[in-house]
Structure 1
Amino acid sequence: MDSGEMQYLFKETRLNLEPPSPSSVVTVRVPSGSGSRGRPKLSHDVEDETTFRLKNLATAASIYRRKWHDSPRSFLWRVLEDGTLLSIRAVDVCKKDKAADASLIINFHFTVPIQQGCVVFADPEEHDALCVHVLDQACYLYTFTLRPDLFKRRGAVDAGLPDICKVQSPAGLSFKYPHRMVAVSANTLLVTVNDGGMIRFDKQKGDDGKYGKANMEYSTATSIEITDFGLENCLFAITVCLDHRIRIWNANDGQILQTMDMVGVERPPQELGKWSIDPAQSNLVQIIGRTRGQRICATYSPIGPGEFKFWKIVAKDGHNVVVEDLFSKCTLIPATPSSSDIWTLADFVLASPEEGHTNLWTLWKNNMTYRVQRLELDRKNMAQSWEDSWDGVFSEPRSLAVQTSGPCDPTDVTEKWLQMILQPGRFTKATLEAALAIYERGLGSSKENSKGRGLAESICSVLGSTASLDRGSSGEMDYEQFRASSETQWRRFYRLLNELDKQRGEAIGMALDADADMVWVVCADLVSAVRECSHLERLYHNLAAPDQGSGRQADLIGAGLTLVEGFPDNLVQLCNAALRPELFAESSKTDLERIQNFSDKAGFWRGITDDDAQQVVDALEANFSVVTNDLYRKVLGLMVTPLDDRNRSPNHPLTEFGRKLVMTAAQDNISLQWRICFSQLVLLVHMEFEFDNEEDALHHRIDVGTVFRQLISTLKRLELLKWLSQTELAIPLSEHSLSSLSKRGEDVQVVTALEANIGHLLGFQGLTDEPLAVSITDLVTNLCSPNGDIEVSPSLIQCALIKRDRADLALDLEPFCDQNPFSMYIHGRVCLALKDFESASIKFRKAAVGMGSETVELERHSSGLLDDTEWNLFNSGLAQYYSHVVALFEKQRAYSYVVEYARLSVQFIGTTPENANIKTDMLSRLFNAALATSHFELAHTTLLSMKDEALRHYNLRKLVDKMCETYHNSELVALPFPGMQQEVDDILLLRCKTMTDVMHAFPFHQVLYSWRIKHNNFRGAASVILDKIQRLRLAGEGDQITGEDVLDTPVTKQYLLLINALSCVDAKQAWIFDEGVPEGERGGLVKRKVVSLADIRKQYQDELDRIAAIQNNQFGFEAGDVMDIS
């Protein structure tokens, strides 16, 4: 059967194996049993293809599933670095509710390389641990006992290192070369050796880790299966040996119970050499079955074209075995994926999802390419089903076509290629770094130039150095030549990336999860989950041969895809540009007007040839008669979630590995749905205007408006999901999995925005209800469906992005958001985080009515952005809502907006006692914001509204100090301060008394003088000036000449003010108290005395005479003066 005739019922989802973070990798150095130092390691500084393969591509790998314990149950193991590194990680897709995630990767570094085919696992029934047995090339046997918490917490690995590893040298391997090793149980191993023998190792009682031995020599076995046939105290080994024969052993005593040729043909001795099996073959036998004493065994002979045999094996007791060829009359040569290429069967697994049903899965390889097929065995009609009933597994091509860059591109060459190669899940970081190093070396440049740069920056720097912008023959800059040169270099780099990536995808083998009925393909640097196709995927991948009843749907989908695939790149870009306003802009046009507008702007009709149009007619018949409302309903129904798949309550959440798997499957599904919907939109518009007579127009018999709106709605959701799946975020790792020794920069992992925001919502309802291959597909369909119950709310995602300090990304989501009050409020929060206060204010005002309305109650979901206190301020009146906005602006120090919204809040506050606290808070915030913006009149007015005496006095002091500090003296004096004038006077007087530098500090004396003059307190003003005169004299600053007149000094100026102040009162009242210099500034106490206006004038005259005498060099000495004449 050729692949063109094969139905694709399954699809692969490939998953990279990059660790989420460097801190997720735990390295364990395994001590050498022989003391050997091993082979020298290749320097990791030499980045070439060989180094890339050694570091990243496994030479052996598989998935082991535990039988008795399940937390975690499945483990992926890989052998790397030329056999010296064994990497083990848990690969469960889901976990028990609230169970810790086993996300750590344990790397065991060996000194001596591991013997090929000699890594085995076991699951002890008596305790929850994973037993790993490894045989190195020096024939030392290592046994690792790994508890589940070692994969969950780094600290558990550090604490348990001494108990993890046991090493011994089995005596039975002293002079023999081991070929294969299998684990019968945690305490029993079987090793096949080069002389045809098989050695059994049984762990001795006690905890010394030593193994005894029992030799069972015969021809070397290359493939082994162990079973007990459901019989107690019995153990059997079914082997395929290099001499092309099957042997059934009693593994307890080494007795061979049956031997036969693999295909049931006896050959003469001289031909045995032609039928010998390559020792590299490791999986040639599989057994299934649950019936006591009976199993079904499948063997594959790789000789010639390859042939399967199915055997029924019945064991009556430990030494009585009967073998029957189930299909002795059939030659079961498996069908290759295609007849035009040379394919080799690399692996197979036998699955029995339920008793009586058998599925055969085959893995085919052609160089680096592989294909998987499945056959459901029909025992009653085996010959026919073997020929015609193979099902295919669709594999997405790893190398994607990239549109050629042109002058109409919305992005430049570099940005377009960066988006392509850095697409999440596309290439691993190791692949990009290796490709860059190889490319850089090819250019002859040094890698030193890239140190200290990010990966994207390094790639742009290296590739940008190969193209230069020169002038053309006309003398102008030749941008087209620069674009073409850059495009050439990027395509070369892309080809190199694809070549390295192909090596990562080389298949190593298959693994079956029998309990979940799911098959995995294990590759060199990735794993691939084989899941069941959804209805849409099944139709899409089988357009040439659809299922019965789906032919018309396939014709419609195929016609749209074929039409768009014929468009040149620039026409596709125009269609996308015309689509964007339809997705995001509000339109008042009718449906038919929108369709006409899209057609005019896209102009794709210019690129449709007569042949293209005829292909559509051939598929959908004349006048597109095949197309009906019912057909569109069926096609669009392929993208919705069935009702019975909705409203599930996932009690088995996804693990980190499971989330990555589902996200990758979702990316593929999003891309597929987008291609189909986009092509259907173009096809619908094309058919609407493709008619000869008006009565033949499509809208006369089809509700094209409804279909158009449904397609636009679906495309808008897909565009949102596409953005989320292609945008990456750095999020913290789970704290429980980190060690205190891990570096702070390594404590984050990069995930897509889709996983970061909805990963916690994903899971399965039950593990036994349906196969995991079906559950994953249903989950992905539900996620991508327009009617799915997995909420993908742009506003809630914006909340999460704001909380993660990524408001820049949250702004990109704005076109997807609704115009409801909460969405408008969140947009305001986005603008606020981006310091766009004006836009934030506009959004907050638009949201005010809905967010403040007491008749509406919001659902309290905000991804942790809002706490309960903040939620309580919503839908509790406009005053409460505006108070919340005030707090937001105040946190951003946007005080002008604090003023605006605090006044609004106060405006809407009622007079009820319960609003007293919020009014006090708003007045306080309004006052502080007014001070910060120097709106002192507003601050003064706000101060008067405060009822709390203590708060008012505190804020009054702040107001006075602020106005003085900012030299708003005249404004301060002009403010009335009703009922608080004495308090202002006291505050200013206190500042005067506490001054230390009266000459250079703020002139509080002058302000207090003006304040008292303003309020007709002339004697008080005079007292202030007298105090200042005394302080100036004490500081020695009073004689400085401040003008042209020598008599114009600070002291004389103050005397004039003092005389003027006292002259304003009645002569009988023209006196003040002279308090003297404060205690402590001159040593002794000064008596308080009364000073009249006459005294002041005399002091002023004396001061003038003193200054004049000094100017005339007439110095007088007092009794206490002493002259230093030395």
Structure 2
Amino acid sequence: MDAADTQYLYRETRLNLESASASSIVNIRVPSLTSTGRGVIRKLTNGNSEKHVSEDEVAFRLKNLAPASSVYHRKWHAAPRSFLWRLLEDGLVLSLRVVDTCRPEKASDAPLVLNFRFSVPIQSSCVAFADPREHDALSMFVLDESNYLYTFNLRPDFFRKRSSIEAVPGEACKVYQPKVFGFKHPHRMVAVNPDQVVISLHDGGLVRLDRNKAHDSSRNPWKETIYNSQGWAQGIRSFLPFKQNNSIRHRNMSMDASAATSIQVTDLGLDDAAFLFTVCLDHRMRIWNLRTGQILFTGDILNADRNPQEMGKWQIDPSHANLLHLVGEGAGKRMCATYSPIGAGEFKFWNIKAHDSETVYVEDAFADDHLVPASPSLSDVWTLADFSLSNPADRGIQLWALWKNNMTYRVQELELDRDNIAASWENEWSSVHIDTSYPTAQVSGPSDPTDTTEKWLSLILAPGRFTKATLEAALAIYEKGLGAQKDVGSKGQKGLAESICSVLASTASLDRNSAGGMDYEQFRASSEIQWRRFYRLLIELDKQRGEAVSLVLDADAEMTWVVCADAISAIRECSQLERLYYNLSRPERGSEQTATLVSTGINFLDAISDSILQVCNAALRPEIFEETARTDYERIQYMFDSTGLWRTVSEEDCAQVIESLGQNYSGVTMHVYDSLTSLLAATADSGSRKTRQPLTDFGRKLIVRAVQETIDLQWKVIFSQLLLLVHMEFDWEQEEDMLSKRLDIGAVFRQFLESLRRLELLRWLSKTEITVPIASKHDRNGSFSGSPRSSKRTADETQTVTALEGNVGHLLGFVDSKNEPLAAAITDIVTDLCSPNSDIEVSPTLIQCSLIRRERADLALELIPFCSQTPFAIYIQGRVFLALKDFASAAIHFRKAAIGMGMFVTSSTSWMVTLTSTSGVKDADVDRHSSGLLDDTEWNLLNKGPARYYCHVVALFEKAKAYSYVVEFAGLAIQYSHASPESALVRSEMLSRQFNAATVLSRFDVAHASLLAMRDKAMQLSSLRKLVDKMCESYHNNELMSLPFPGLQDAIDEILSQRCKSAMDVLSGVPYHQILYSWRIKHNDYRGAATVLLDRIQKLQLAGEGDKLIGDDTLDTPVTKQYLLLINALSCVDSKQAWIFSEEMPPPSSRDTSFQSKRKVVTLSDLRKQYQDELDRIAAIQNNQFGFEADDAMDIL
């Protein structure tokens, strides 16, 4: 039967292997015993077969695409358990990483990628692994092309901490060259256990290597035992130089037809037994006793008698490595499946029985049946490239098959019924849905608000779509195709997005049209063409990355993987909606009506043009995010009017809808809508699931990728149904035929909007990337939203993840990976997360908190439409605007949130018990959840009254240096402080903050009022000193004089006096002497004013300013002007009080800190005499009458 008629029961989720951080890649140089690297540059050059391939593409293939790759699952240890190995760079690099989806709760994650770099290429068929039962480690065996065997002992810490690798001793890697390879060639290698390796040889023999544990193990670490499948004569003939009749040419050597190409080791459940099952090139299966080398069974893999003369037709190509599988757990019993790749391909199943290690009974399980698998499509040529077998409990035999057609692949699954093998083989095949399509950006129109470049960048840089290496290779090839020289230096400084835009922008120019104006339409069309060319190049490179290499079945976890050249695909079960959607043409019984409704909606959506779809999305956005007072029917009416669907839906489209759903849409019922809604609902046990095994980094990325796929599908289905509902409601000829007359379309409409709102939030989270610090061992047990140790980190200390991983990933996990199939559990997690009635908390408000802490308030701003209008949510929105320095908006939100956040609330009665109306998660103590944004001190200020709340807001604005809002909210806190039990403390602190902020803003009237309101004398005096200094320094002298300071005049006088005393330079800086003089004059302290002037005169004379003339008068100097002011000041007092003290000034060059100045009384007459002497001195100087020495007296005429 054609596989196109099968049901799609599984869905592929492909995951890129690109590391989130460069620091997670560890390069390990493997020591070599050879002096030269034979064959190192075998494929690095562009050979004749690839002349049409550019050097950049060749380098891309070698560095990123693995020709050989698989996953090894450990048997005895579970953390870590699954390892993905890949051969890169022409076999010179063996890359190894952990691909566990979950881990034990107390175990650390293992995110490191180990790249083992060899000097000689590795033989791709000779990489093997073993799991030591005694100790937790991974044994790895590698055979290179020089036939050196490398043995690695890798501890789990190697994949967790770089320091463990750097401190590893030399014993972790051992090198040995088996002597047998001096005259024989290896073909396949398997590890029986950590101490035993079996290698098949080109001549049909085997070599068993046993680890030597004797005292001479350093010289001979392995004991070699050779087994031959032929007699000694045949063994000798294999060394002859001429070709034998039954030899097969492979990799420059002639292989005997009896050489084993597919090998599996088993003990068949028997103690002290070891059997080797092989499929050989001569189309035979051979079973060996691995301990003795005896062949216990030989037979055709299809149990057919072959004509000896036609044996050449049945020879198997040596490149086939997986033609044999064993399943079963009973003692001495197994089911064996062999596959013959000859012709159309055929399976054969065998019952294997053994009572001891000497005898094996092999029986054809279904001798009368020819089990030829049906290809995925009869129109193409498909080759079965790999298969795997499992024996689930009570489910018979499960067969997985991997088909390939060039770089395309398909996967099929079969549940075999042993009692009715023919019918189950014919009818029980199911398929895996593999999405090979690539989305494209919508064509930009003249009225499109989104630019062409922005659309394409958003598409190609979407998380998980293309790797950075793919983008860089495509850009290099594209740029070379333009004939431009690669600017390596500038690209190192530019970001990838900037480099792409720069190269593509160089191909389009903005010219003028025929009318002389700018031809924007031509520029837009030209840019669109270049972007589509670049996108096609990206797709071609990405298809190479998706070529299947192997199929791996994890029977213990019941999970199937497809390992690709540069990706790994998880085969998970379809959700209910996916199962319906992928099988619309062949729905299951009971879901026909729902399938018809879904298919009709999809077809209706496809009929709508891109321009109208943009209008529909624009009209839908306010319905999803904004609160409205309109009724449900008014909202539906608004959607119909604003979208204008009637203008784009043709009569033919309407007729197709009626044909599918019946006249007057009789096929549409509430039951059908309920069935559709149930497909979106969370699983029945979602609320009772308790995560015991959290996701690993790899598991989180896998879930995110599956969520992205599910969002796209659910959005498409629901959006199409919403538009179809609007169309059907207004497509009637008579009023009684309206859909709303018999259906509650308002309820359906609300359900659709609720689902779309949840999906839009998850879509934003899954496409938005953030940079988070690489978690330590302790941090990896929790959330990425934990407190960061440092806000500034280097690129090596951070990793790029989606916002969904960083904020929701820690909530996801498995109940018990051993008892629940992983393929189903992954789908259940994704379904529960995307469901509108999900119990998984996705709180936009808490995510905003996390983003603010990550200094990504710009992203937190984009989440505002998703947030509810609870006081806490509004408060956090204020924090968002505060982080963005939009203080006005922040203040508005803080005032609005005060209604709830400033109330006295207990946790048991808090409105915050339900944090957001969108999450649907109730937590009695959720008011303490803020993703670490608020500490305990801040929490203690919330819901403790308006005074404490405003104190908290004041602290926020003060930290942001938004002092004008500090003044405002401090005033509010003071206003409400009377109702606070700590009113005195609140009032004191707020007055201090308000005063400081007002001082910074030079709002001295507010600062003055705050100062006078202070009751703490020490704080008041300290603040007064700051206010006086600030007003003096900013030259607000007049304002200082005009402000009243009841009871503080003496303190101000003292402050100014200290400043005058300490100011030696009276020519520059703050004029404290003049200010103090004005202050004392204003307060009628004329003697005090005179004292200030005398101090200033002395400092002017000390600075040598007495001889500098100012103005037109020859006797007018700074000193004489001060003398006049001084004499006038003292003249205003009674003659008996017209005296002041004068302090002696220290010598100008004196450094004696113990100088004691002497005080003397100076009267008004003394000052007048000094003034006259100063005038005479200046006049003498003007007349050139002065002495030549200091002691000479001037001759005054």
Q: Does 1:214 align with 2:225?
A: yes
Equivalence for 1:522: 563
Equivalence for 1:698: 739
Post-superposition CA distance 1:762-790 (Å, at most 9, x none): 11111133100010000001111111111
How far is 1:1101 from its partner? Answer: 2.8
Measure the CA separation in 2 of the matches of 1:43 and 1:996: 80
Equivalence for 1:960: 1028
Measure the CA separation in 2 of the matches of 1:1018 and 1:709: 83
Change (3 A) 1:861 1:647: farther
Measure the CA separation in 1 of the matches of 2:363 and 2:392: 23
Change (3 A) 1:1085 1:929: closer
Is the 8 Å Cα contact of residues 39 and 111 (structure 1) preserved in structure 2? no
Measure the CA separation in 1 of the matches of 2:802 and 2:1039: 57
How far is 1:161 from its partner? Answer: 5.0
Change (3 A) 1:356 1:574: closer
Q: Does 1:787 align with 2:837?
A: yes
**Candidates 971, 991, 1008, aligned match of 1:903:** 971
**Candidates 806, 810, 824, aligned match of 2:874:** 824
Measure the CA separation in 1 of the matches of 2:467 and 2:1134: 95
Post-superposition CA distance 1:231-288 (Å, at most 9, x none): 0000001111000011111111011111111111111210111100000000000000
**Candidates 811, 825, 848, aligned match of 1:761:** 811
Is the 8 Å Cα contact of residues 711 and 759 (structure 2) preserved in structure 1? yes
Is the 8 Å Cα contact of residues 509 and 523 (structure 2) preserved in structure 1? yes
How far is 1:1065 from its partner? Answer: 1.6
What TM-score, normalized to structure 2? 0.91
How far is 1:936 from its partner? Answer: 1.5
Counterpart amino acid of residue 21 in structure 2: S
How far is 1:400 from its partner? Answer: 2.6
**Candidates 1044, 1048, 1052, aligned match of 2:1120:** 1052
Q: Which runs of 5+ in 1 are unaligned?
A: none
Equivalent positions of 1:340-351 (< 5 A) are 340-351=379-390
Equivalence for 1:114: 122
Give me the CA root mean square deviation.
2.0
Q: Structure 1 residues 156-165 or 258-267, which shifts more?
A: 156-165
Q: Does 1:777 align with 2:810?
A: no
How far is 1:952 from its partner? Answer: 1.9
Is the 8 Å Cα contact of residues 517 and 772 (structure 1) preserved in structure 2? yes
Is the 8 Å Cα contact of residues 2 and 375 (structure 2) preserved in structure 1? yes
Equivalent positions of 1:254-333 (< 5 A) are 254-333=293-372
Change (3 A) 1:613 1:771: same
Q: Does 1:445 align with 2:484?
A: yes
Q: Structure 1 residues 996-1005 or 1108-1117, which shifts more?
A: 1108-1117
Counterpart amino acid of residue 586 in structure 1: E
How far is 1:451 from its partner? Answer: 4.2
Counterpart amino acid of residue 955 in structure 1: S
Equivalence for 2:597: 556
How far is 1:912 from its partner? Answer: 6.3
Q: Does 1:337 align with 2:376?
A: yes
Is the 8 Å Cα contact of residues 1075 and 1087 (structure 1) preserved in structure 2? yes
Q: Does 1:997 align with 2:1065?
A: yes
Is the 8 Å Cα contact of residues 895 and 933 (structure 1) preserved in structure 2? yes
**Candidates 489, 492, 508, aligned match of 1:467:** 508
Change (3 A) 1:44 1:651: farther
Q: Does 1:674 align with 2:715?
A: yes
Counterpart amino acid of residue 944 in structure 2: S
Measure the CA separation in 2 of the matches of 1:847 and 1:130: 57
Equivalence for 2:12: 12
Counterpart amino acid of residue 217 in structure 1: N
Is the 8 Å Cα contact of residues 310 and 326 (structure 1) preserved in structure 2? yes
Equivalence for 1:686: 727
How far is 1:1073 from its partner? Answer: 2.1
Counterpart amino acid of residue 80 in structure 1: L
Is the 8 Å Cα contact of residues 903 and 926 (structure 1) preserved in structure 2? yes
Counterpart amino acid of residue 621 in structure 2: R
Measure the CA separation in 1 of the matches of 2:467 and 2:1159: 89
Equivalence for 2:947: 879
Measure the CA separation in 1 of the matches of 2:1000 and 2:808: 42
How far is 1:727 from its partner? Answer: 1.1
Post-superposition CA distance 1:951-988 (Å, at most 9, x none): 22222211111111111112222222222221111111
Measure the CA separation in 2 of the matches of 1:177 and 1:399: 45
Equivalence for 1:34: 34
Give aligned-pair identity as a percent: 59
**Candidates 1074, 1080, 1090, aligned match of 1:1012:** 1080
How far is 1:897 from its partner? Answer: 0.6
Counterpart amino acid of residue 795 in structure 1: T
Change (3 A) 1:322 1:360: same
Equivalence for 1:920: 988
What TM-score, normalized to structure 1? 0.97
Change (3 A) 1:506 1:737: farther
Change (3 A) 1:1121 1:52: same
| Counterpart secondary structure, 1:1090 | strand
Measure the CA separation in 1 of the matches of 2:962 and 2:102: 47
| Counterpart secondary structure, 1:638 | helix
Q: Does 1:935 align with 2:1003?
A: yes
Moved over 4 A (4+): 40-47, 1078-1087, 1116-1119
Equivalence for 2:853: 803
Counterpart amino acid of residue 362 in structure 1: A
Q: Does 1:1043 align with 2:1099?
A: no
Measure the CA separation in 1 of the matches of 2:495 and 2:953: 39
Measure the CA separation in 2 of the matches of 1:199 and 1:737: 46
Measure the CA separation in 1 of the matches of 2:819 and 2:1190: 114
Post-superposition CA distance 1:91-135 (Å, at most 9, x none): 000001132110000001111111131000000111111000001
Is the 8 Å Cα contact of residues 38 and 146 (structure 2) preserved in structure 1? no
Is the 8 Å Cα contact of residues 408 and 570 (structure 1) preserved in structure 2? no
Equivalence for 1:84: 92
| Counterpart secondary structure, 1:447 | coil
Equivalence for 1:404: 443
Equivalence for 2:239: none
How far is 1:356 from its partner? Answer: 5.6
Measure the CA separation in 1 of the matches of 2:45 and 2:770: 29
Aligned residues: 1121
**Candidates 813, 829, 844, aligned match of 2:863:** 813
Counterpart amino acid of residue 815 in structure 2: Q
Change (3 A) 1:237 1:359: same
Counterpart amino acid of residue 175 in structure 1: F
Is the 8 Å Cα contact of residues 895 and 932 (structure 1) preserved in structure 2? yes
Q: Which runs of 5+ in 2 are unaligned?
A: 47-53, 230-257, 780-788, 913-926
Change (3 A) 1:352 1:831: same
Is the 8 Å Cα contact of residues 1012 and 1021 (structure 1) preserved in structure 2? yes
Is the 8 Å Cα contact of residues 12 and 569 (structure 2) preserved in structure 1? yes
Q: Does 1:202 align with 2:210?
A: yes
Measure the CA separation in 2 of the matches of 1:471 and 1:1023: 80
Equivalence for 1:414: 453
Measure the CA separation in 1 of the matches of 2:383 and 2:1124: 113
Q: Does 1:51 align with 2:24?
A: no
Measure the CA separation in 2 of the matches of 1:697 and 1:291: 66
Equivalent positions of 1:184-203 (< 5 A) are 184-203=192-211
Equivalence for 1:70: 78
Counterpart amino acid of residue 834 in structure 1: L
Change (3 A) 1:252 1:842: same
| Counterpart secondary structure, 1:48 | helix
Change (3 A) 1:1050 1:391: same
Counterpart amino acid of residue 534 in structure 2: F
Is the 8 Å Cα contact of residues 44 and 90 (structure 2) preserved in structure 1? no
Measure the CA separation in 2 of the matches of 1:153 and 1:385: 49
Measure the CA separation in 1 of the matches of 2:436 and 2:34: 47
How far is 1:1119 from its partner? Answer: 7.2
Measure the CA separation in 1 of the matches of 2:1143 and 2:211: 104
Change (3 A) 1:664 1:1119: closer
Measure the CA separation in 2 of the matches of 1:506 and 1:161: 38
